[in-house]
Structure 1
Amino acid sequence: MNKIQTLKKHDIPKFDLKKKPILDIKSIMKILPHKPPFLLVDKIIDLTENSIVGIKNVTMNESFFIGHFPREPIMPGVLQIEAIAQVGGILVLNKLSHPELYSTYFLKIDKVKFKQKIVPGDIIIFQVYLLESMKRGIVHMKGKGYVNNKLVVEAEVVAKIVKNYEKL
């Protein structure tokens, strides 16, 4: 296995939220096929060859809060994992010359841990990095989400990059 990056278990990275975004929401929508209300990343503040940092501002206006849960709104865990995958999708699709022609599809989700509730008003900082180099369109990534300098969610995802033939 060709490991790319490992972090110590309790290392909480430092993030500069005042930094000018590398990708804003308009740029993100050109890369990802997702659109509101299912677009779960607002901006990218760091991007390297093997890692990315994305931001999600959680507001009460999110459609999922209508039913999850009206009296105690909590961001669903499956959407937290989806947000990790979307940030990771930007990492890998951004490397392609025409990212808008491709999509990423889950193949596997593993080692998921939810550590704390995410509620309206939270700013989630997602850090996603490659665990292995992409091979045959398959990518293995690890993502972590932080709120107020606390790890709130983590997961490993395996995804496949697929060309969207209907867009040709």
Structure 2
Amino acid sequence: LLDAIVYIAEDHSRAIGLKHVRADEFWVPGHFPSAPILPGVLMVEAAAQLMNWMFNRKRGTKDLGAFLRINNCSFRNSVTIGDDLYILAEEIRFGSRGFTARTQGIVHGQIAFSADLSGMVFRTLDK
């Protein structure tokens, strides 16, 4: 879902990712037919991808991460075709196998969503 990583802190504790919402995405015809709105679950998934990328970057690995928990999640503004959704992630806790980050999605300078996400190493990939 993420199209780009636009910022990463030197210590890998904060990052910003970009999701450009396109008209040809699979969810557009059904959510909602006359007024497409990016589903909240996909916003959170993009944030989880960014969190996993940060975790791997910090550890120097390419492990697959799995969701454990979504806390304090709220949606405030809609995201639609043509929008750029900037996803901000900040490390809360990164351990040897588990990770937690505070995330936000920003569209047109407004908060679209916020959530605290937790994950863990699901599978270690060969380097």
TM-score (norm 1): 0.70
CA deviations on 1:129-164 (whole Å, 9 max, x unpaired) are 1112x2241111010010111111110001002334
Flag structure 2 segments of 5+ consecutive residues without an equivalent. Answer: none
Which ranges in structure 1 are unaligned for 5 or more consecutive residues? 1-39
1:63 alignment partner, SS class: coil
Name the structure 2 match of 1:91. 54
Q: How many aligned residue pairs are there?
A: 125
Identify, as 1 or 2, the structure richer in strand.
2
1:158 aligns with 2:121: no
- Structure richer in helix, relative to its length: 1
Q: TM-score, normalised by structure 2?
A: 0.91
Distance between the aligned counterparts of 2:14 and 2:61, measured in 1? 20
User: Closer, same or farther in 2 for the Cα pair 1:93/1:81, shift >3 Å?
Assistant: same
Partner residue in 1 for 2:67: 106
Bigger RCO (CA 8 Å, 6+ sep): 2
Q: Partners of 2:89 and 2:82 in 1: how far apart? A: 22
Q: Structure 1 segments of 4 or more deviating over 6 A?
A: none
Higher Rg of the two aligned structures: 1
Quick one: distance in 1 between partners of 2:80 and 2:17? 18
Give the alignment of 1:63-102 within 5 angstroms.
63-99=26-62, 102=63
The whole-number CA distance in structure 2 between the counterparts of 1:44 and 1:139 is: 19
| TM-fit CA distance, 1:96 | 3.4
Amino acid at match of 2:90: Y
